[in-house]
Every structure is written in structure tokens, then in C-alpha cells.
Structure 1
């Protein structure tokens, strides 16, 4: 491999010095030149290769001071760049296309990340030495280490964060009127705002207008873009079409898409945006599914006193029960069977009752496996023992209704039938007349 400072650079350097301007070298050029022998010396008169042989151009990433008479220029080709081969590298002033340095090298491959295959990262540098180099180039920053490749690790961190966002926001989440599509005649406006698509947080900075749309969808398209040394950010764009899927573009960036609105043959708009975070979407979905299946009804009643059951004139299997505004526990304070609500304790006169009928099962406060269930089982077992061992004045009966009291508290009455409905147990009792 050989390198050279060109005569063209000497002319350029003299020209800039005469006008008091600093030397600016700001572009790398990569080319694949046929029949190039990297072992042979390079003529100082060599120019840029023919355009058809140039495979890549890129602005320098770093320029640093090595000494008063030496400066370094470096470029990093990240995993988003490729695929191509090169054997010629040049450093030049982009504005004048003046070539300052040239390197001939063995043919090398530059591959980008695509199809699940990790690309490679290449860093190439030129060290330019001449008297007064630091002064003439106005470079005063010390050269740094530029060739450490953290690409794979940083990509992994980005992917973990994207998946965390997906856990919280689902495949897409929109807030308020963000990305809402409204129609005014033949104009369709997509509102600006914040959203998550595919775990990427992005913002549409300005509203965008589409014209004369029919029988199509409007999609939000989010991708996370940048290069190895730049700040990465979510790129947001809008597009129209039908049945669009996530995709990877020619540069290797993954794009995540979400339909935000459907436009029918008449031009009418249907909003398709998932609203809010994942938990909010779940609640909204339950409400929507439930609304399609049944209609919740409310039945109210003022107790006359001592009612042990309630019979709303409705057909239902589940309900919510409120007594004087307090919600009661299903399968503990009450049970439902044959369109009847059986109460654990009789009502008092003027108790205000509200029964919400046709509620989803998940809305009722039924006990599930866990600590509460264990407590209930212990209470039931204690009740069984107590009822079986009632004797003498500890046993209080309301005779014909077969009511039993625990201990000597005459205000606690639980009937055998009610216990069977509530706890699904058989109660063994010894009834004695009073």
C-alpha cells in the first residue's frame, strides 16, 4: 500500500495562503480502479479516477492535531453504508475538487447490515505532514481514538429500548389528536403530535395534507436513523396504500408502519389510531367488545327490611351490587343464581340498593386463588365447626326459617340456604326450638 501528497495540493495550498484562507480538506472519495497495483509508487500528478469508478463519497468525521506540522483526517464507514469494493482512497477539498492525498490499497469490501446479517465498520485516516500544517489548516483539536467499533453494542441497546417501549405502548399508541385525520372537502389533514409506532417514539412536527383520497389507508411510518458518529433519531413520514407491512429500506433501516385512518370509496374517514398506552388500549378494547355483546342496566330498590334475596325483572348471570353506595363482594357478600341475588345478610329498612346487570365477569369482585381465598376458606371451616357445636343458649334460632347465629350475637343470622348459595358448602346444623 502506498500514499502520496499530490502536486495539486501544493498548488491549492499556495493559493489559499496567498489569500489568507485556511486549508480545508473535507471529503473522502473511495473508488475501485481496474488493474491498480498497490505496491507501485503513486505519481504525484494523479487526479481523481473516472466517475464510473467512484463507489462512495463521504464528508470527514474527524480532523485532529498531531503536531505543529502534522494533522490527521478520519472517516468512519458505518454499518448502514455498502455494499461496494474499493482500492483507491482520496482526500480532497470538496468545493474545488482538489485532491490532497491519495492511497492505493488492496481491494477491500464494505458491507452494510441487511437481512439479519451484521455489516462491517471501516475507519480510514490520512496523516498530512508539512511545515506549519496546524496553522495553515486552522486545526487545533488533538487527534482522538476513532477506530473503536461500538456499533453492535449500541444497536443492541437501541433494540432493547424499542422492545421495552413495545411492552408499554403495544405496536402503536397515539395521544390526543396526534395523527388524527380530518377531512375538509377533498383535503385530508393529518394532525401533528406525538406517537409510538413499533416501539419508536416519534413526533410529526407539522400537520400534513393529502388531496383526493379514495379507497385507501393513511399510514404512519417510523424508522430510527443515523450513522455511526451522528445522533440517531426517529424519522417520521406519512404514506398511503393498502395492507402495508413493516419493511427494511435499501439503506438497511427498519421501518415500522401503522394504519392511522381508512378512506372509503365515498371519501369518508374512519379513525384507526390505537389511543393511549397499552393498558388504556386493553380497557378500551374490553369496553368495545362488551358493548357489542350486551347492554349494562341498573336496577334500584329501597329495602322494606329483612329481605334476604333480590329479584330484578331481568335475565342475568353476573352483576355488581351496591348497598348504600358501597360495593359488595361477589361470592362472599352475595351470590347470583336463576336471575336472583342471594344476600349473606338480610337488608335493613330503607337500605338503598343498586344492582348493575350484565356486567363483565372481570368487573365483579369475585375472589380468585390467593390470600383472600385462603382467608375465606378458613372462615368457612370455622363456621362449619361453630355451627356443628352450637349448644344451649349459644344457639339462637328463628325456627321456621332455619337461621343460625354464631355465638350469642343475635344480630348475625346466616341461613343454611344462603350459605349454600354463597359458599357452595353443606351446612350441618342441629336445630333446637327456643
Structure 2
């Protein structure tokens, strides 16, 4: 739910981030936070909640840096899919679906959203509730409002977050999440939570942090409001003739019968559906896997405004439902890494002296810089990309 596209760090943020806080810059930050606090009070948040929320607030270099810096390399679709739909997420997903089978089926009946889709979204957003983010929102949001881009957006989200606390749904101390404000097992932004979160377990609170039923039902409510159609597949892999010159794009939908006339068939050999309208997407171009996607794919897209994200959820849901892996390989001779392989790569970088930090499988600027140095030494193009080739090189294979 949170993909803000930031830019380079500005002068004031750099001065603050150095750790040697220049007096004018620090004064500017303090003045900004004071202004944000005043706006929160003016919005009707109770003073005791505001006092507790702003207590001990300090400049958060990490939150501001995350809000303003772009990754150093563009994530290829095969890299994205490799760590989002890996073996561990499939195994964990199957286990969690067994554990919460009754809840998933109840939510599916109530909202008409496929339970495998809900499990996949849950797995990708928070690793089935295990990874919800560690930024304290009442501190992170003023920081990115004052030191980052889109100040009005983040101030508005802060107010909405504190309204959630004021309503008694979530305790202030539990309000942790991403630097941009997404929180809970479904990673709703506060404004999204206020509109669409539901109390499915009947305890009188909408709690997407601790309650699995509330979390899954809230995600289902989101997708339902986004136009999810019960019984319609999100999409499926297809084979496209090499001579195909027709339309491409999820918005350029046509009945399945029209795609049949273009010579397009399902990759698994089964017949195309008799109903529904579909658009053709080719995320890696003509040489990679192709998919016909429905309005349900568009509903997934609305959750995070990225086709790669929607595809990851759709594909993970298929695998959780027992369907086979993609028939067409991604067009690369250097595949991406699973989360376990990313962690192993960091461990090897540490052992070889390229990297100082925790091996947690998360690829940030420090890891990218270390990979570049290792690639240079191995005679590879120093693009900072975590891939099978550099992993094998470091492992001595």
C-alpha cells in the first residue's frame, strides 16, 4: 500500500542526516514538527493523545532517506518475482491457510474474494503477519512530512492514524509500520484503514495489527470495493504467436473469444474461459511469459498501483491453490534470488569483507554497494544486482 517515488536528498535533509546537526537546520526541523503538531490539534485530536504521540520525537535519518532515495538499479520482473514468490512463502502460506482455514472461508463467503488471493496478499504484504514494519508512525510521519516530499499527504495520514487511536481501535504504542505510514497485517495506509477496515471477529474494534480475521476481511473489503468479481480468475499464462502484432496492456480488454481468434491459447493447454474480458500483459516483453488478465487483476493493481505487484499476488495465489509454475521461463541467463539466497549472499559478502551489517535478506544501498565491489573483483558488470551469478562467484562455484 505504500510505494511513494522519492528523489535525491535535499540540502536540509543532508545536513540533518550527517549526525552533526547544524543549528539552523535543526531549528527548521523543530519548527516544522511544531507546525505539524499544531495542525494535528486543530484537526480535533485530543491533547493527551497528541502529547503522547509527539513525546521524544527526533529527526529520523532513515525514514527521511527512505522517502527520498531511489533504488540504485531498476528491479527486473524476474528479480521481483524470485523473492516474493519463493519456496519459503509457499510453504508458510500453505501452513497458514490450514491454520486459518475457517476464517479464510468465512471471509470468502462474506465478500466473494477468493481465499487463495487473500492468503497471497497477506503473505506478500506482511509475510503472513510476521513483518509489519518497525517505524513508529507518530514519529516517522512528521519526519517525512518535514524532511521528505509530499508533506500534505503525510500530515493527513498522521492525522488519520491518530484518529484510529482516538477511536479506540488500536493502541498508540502498537502503531508501527513502514516509513510512509502503512501498518498492520494488510499494510493499510491510515486513510485506507479509516475507509475500509472492518471488525470481522466481532470484538468491537477494527484491529488489523493483532486480529487475523479483521486483517483478512479488511483486505477482502478493499478488493470488493475495487471491483472484484467473484468466480472470475485474476488471469492466466498464455502462449502468444510469434507473429502477434495486436494490442498489449491490461486496459485493452476483449472477450476471450477475440483472443482465440488472434491465435492465443492458455499455456497449460486448457481452453480459455467462456466469459469475462481480458487484457494481454507481457511484463518481460515478447520473449518472456505472457498473461491474459481480468478486472480482478485491476483490483489487485489498485492495492499497490504496480502490475508486478498484482502479478506476484495472482501467481502466488495460483501456487497456493496447487497450480503449476510458469511454463515460459523469464528471459534471463542470471536469475534472481529467493529471500534465503539474498540472506546467503549478504553472509558471503560479510565473510569476504565487502559488507558490514546484518544478513537479513533485505537489499538496501549498503548491500548494493557491497555487491558492486564484489562484482568488480569478479570481473562482472558492477550493477549492484543480487543474482545467481554473483552468489555463485562468492560461494566459489
Shorter-normalised TM-score: what interval?
under 0.3
What TM-score does the superposition give when structure 1 sets the normalisation length? 0.19
| Structure with the higher fraction of residues in strand conformation | 1
Greater C-alpha radius of gyration: 1
What TM-score does the superposition give when structure 2 sets the normalisation length? 0.20
